[in-house]
């Protein structure tokens, strides 16, 4: 059970909710509930005393100089989510939508947003019944937070727009009526509290983190397989060698490679003392991804556990604090950096694949790793087209590495004149991950094919292959047999990409 009460949540908590591996609950603790009530009661008292509050008694953004007539204050939150209902692009997957709900609830539970218990309970209800808003992914500049995409969450809380429910797209009003859920009427400031934050970019960042952490292991296992397939030198991963350069990421990757290659007496290539960089420097490339993820965790989880709307409502001290906590700069930096580290792994694997399929560099393997024999070798082209695909996917991944955060645009009458672009950075990161996972699936097929060809050619005894590499070979062969004759590989590649994304192939660590 993931409990929401303002205490610190992890990336894994959000992803468990996104994948429905754990249920969500709002804490019933009296002290937590009282902290939430103090914020909303303070706002009520302030309004009764004719206090001026941004977004409550004023317009939004550059319209903060517009005073709202008292009789229209109650209608203002509905107008906020209504005029922001202009999202475009693809709809976020249902898993991402769940992550958005959980991330927004985590922020509001910090107790600095001035919202009611009823709002928190409505978000809890959506998670518990798996009612997930349809959220268009485009339209946010990442400050003031994810206004447009989060307007779809606000509207659904109020019974409007559409949701995923039981595998179908349904009108929210119909689902609420079916489940006897009362639509919420937003109180003053609650529209801002829901929308003026970083929930979408942070939710996507949590998902990107998990996928990249698993990719670190996939790339390492591919490197181990490719080392054997290419008659590479396992001494490149020597423990003493890596103790001389104390970066934790490369040291971890090299240790995994030593375990895979069982390098008590590392095999040496008699014809080549030093392998090409795509093997020799693999721990250094993958290790950068590993350490990038380590500091990414701090940025992502601090954002996840922050009150990131505006204004901040201090119910205890009775202050309304106007600031810029909706600014998604930390997520932008995390995602811009992560997508570069991931794309570098795609480039590494692309180079390993190019080496394995080319008879000039693969030390005796057949051209394009074709398993055809006899006269049929002449018409068989093995993984030739797959290698072209890997090159295309890698190039596209590299193209997406331009940092989004440097493309800040002044908008909204120059009120939002410096923005984070954090949501675009997070979406870019997911695209780079998708392309790199496709590269990884193809390279995994190639490395496994190369290993089996070595065994068939008598270059290595099957008994000499470690148990971990044998397990990966068997896992891949469950959905993709040895390539003895040309066949369309699209379906097998898609299945393998899906298995990698679901983290269903056991590697170095257990994953949720």
What are 348-351's contacts with CB under 8 Å, separation 24+? 348/219, 348/278, 348/282, 348/285, 348/286, 349/219, 349/222, 349/390, 349/394, 349/436, 349/439, 349/440, 349/443, 350/390, 350/391, 350/394, 350/439, 350/443, 351/276, 351/277, 351/278
> Is 325 in a helix, a strand, or coil?
coil
Strand 24-26 to 2-4 pairing: parallel
Give the number of other CB atoms < 10 A from CB of residue 167: 8
In which element (H, E) is residue 274 found?
none
> What token pair was written down for 263?
């390098």
Q: How many CB atoms lie within 10 A of CB 340?
A: 19
Q: Which residues are catalytic?
A: 54
- What is the DSSP annotation of 107-147? HHTTS-S---HHHHHHHHHHHHHT-EE--EEE---SSSSSH
Longest dimension (CA), the chain: 92
CA of 447: how far to CAs of 138, 229, 365, in Å?
A: 38, 7, 11
CA 456 – CA 461 distance, rounded (Å): 9
How far, in Å, are 7, 9, 17, 43, 119 from residue 111 at the CA level? 11, 15, 22, 13, 12
Coil/strand/helix, residue 411: strand
Q: Are 42 and 313 in contact (CB under 8 A)?
A: yes
């Amino acid at each position: 059970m993931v409990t929401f009460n303002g205490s610190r949540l992890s990336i894994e908590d959000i992803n468990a909710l996104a994948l429905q591996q754990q249920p969500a609950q709002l804490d019933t603790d009296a002290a937590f509930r009282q902290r939430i009530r103090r914020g909303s009661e303070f706002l009520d008292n302030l309004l009764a005393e004719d206090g001026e509050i941004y977004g409550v008694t004023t317009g939004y953004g550059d319209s903060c100089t517009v005073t709202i007539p008292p009789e229209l204050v109650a209608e203002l939150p509905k107008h906020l989510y209504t005029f922001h209902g202009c999202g475009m692009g693809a709809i976020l997957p249902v898993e991402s939508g769940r992550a958005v709900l959980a991330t927004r609830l985590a922020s509001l539970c910090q107790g600095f947003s001035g919202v009611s218990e009823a709002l928190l309970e409505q978000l809890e209800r959506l998670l518990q019944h798996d009612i997930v808003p349809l959220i268009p992914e485009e339209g946010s500049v990442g400050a003031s937070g994810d206004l447009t995409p989060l307007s779809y969450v606000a509207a659904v809380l109020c019974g409007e727009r559409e949701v995923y429910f039981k595998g179908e797209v349904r009108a929210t009003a119909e689902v609420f009526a079916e489940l006897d859920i009362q639509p919420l009427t937003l109180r003053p400031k609650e529209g801002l509290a829901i929308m003026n934050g970083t929930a979408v970019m942070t939710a996507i960042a949590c998902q990107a983190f998990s996928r990249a952490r698993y990719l670190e292991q996939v790339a390492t296992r591919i490197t181990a397989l490719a080392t054997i397939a290419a008659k590479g030198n396992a001494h490149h991963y020597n423990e003493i060698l890596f103790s001389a350069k104390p970066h934790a990421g490369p040291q971890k990757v090299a240790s995994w490679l030593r375990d895979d290659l069982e390098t008590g007496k590392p095999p040496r290539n008699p014809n080549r003392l030093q392998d090409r960089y795509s093997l020799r420097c693999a721990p250094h490339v993958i290790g950068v991804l590993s350490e990038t993820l380590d500091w990414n965790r701090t940025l992502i989880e601090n954002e996840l556990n922050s009150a990131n709307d505006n204004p901040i409502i201090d119910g205890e001290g009775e202050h309304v604090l106007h600031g810029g906590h909706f600014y998604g700069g930390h997520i932008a930096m995390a995602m811009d950096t992560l997508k570069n580290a991931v794309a570098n792994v795609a480039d590494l694997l692309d180079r390993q694949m190019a080496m394995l399929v080319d008879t000039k560099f693969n030390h005796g393997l057949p051209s394009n790793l074709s398993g055809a024999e006899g006269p049929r070798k002449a018409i068989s082209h093995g993984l030739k087209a797959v290698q072209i695909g890997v090159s295309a996917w890698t190039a596209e991944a590299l193209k997406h590495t331009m940092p989004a955060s440097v493309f800040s645009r002044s908008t909204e009458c120059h009120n939002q004149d410096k923005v984070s672009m954090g949501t675009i950075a997070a979406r870019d990161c997911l695209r780079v991950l998708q392309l790199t996972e496709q590269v990884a699936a193809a390279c995994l097929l190639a490395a496994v094919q190369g290993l089996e060809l070595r065994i068939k050619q008598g270059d290595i005894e099957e008994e000499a292959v470690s148990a971990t590499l044998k397990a990966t070979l068997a896992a891949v062969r469950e959905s993709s047999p040895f390539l003895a004759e040309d066949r369309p590989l699209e379906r097998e590649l898609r299945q393998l990409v899906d298995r990698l994304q679901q983290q269903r192939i056991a590697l170095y660590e257990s994953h949720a």
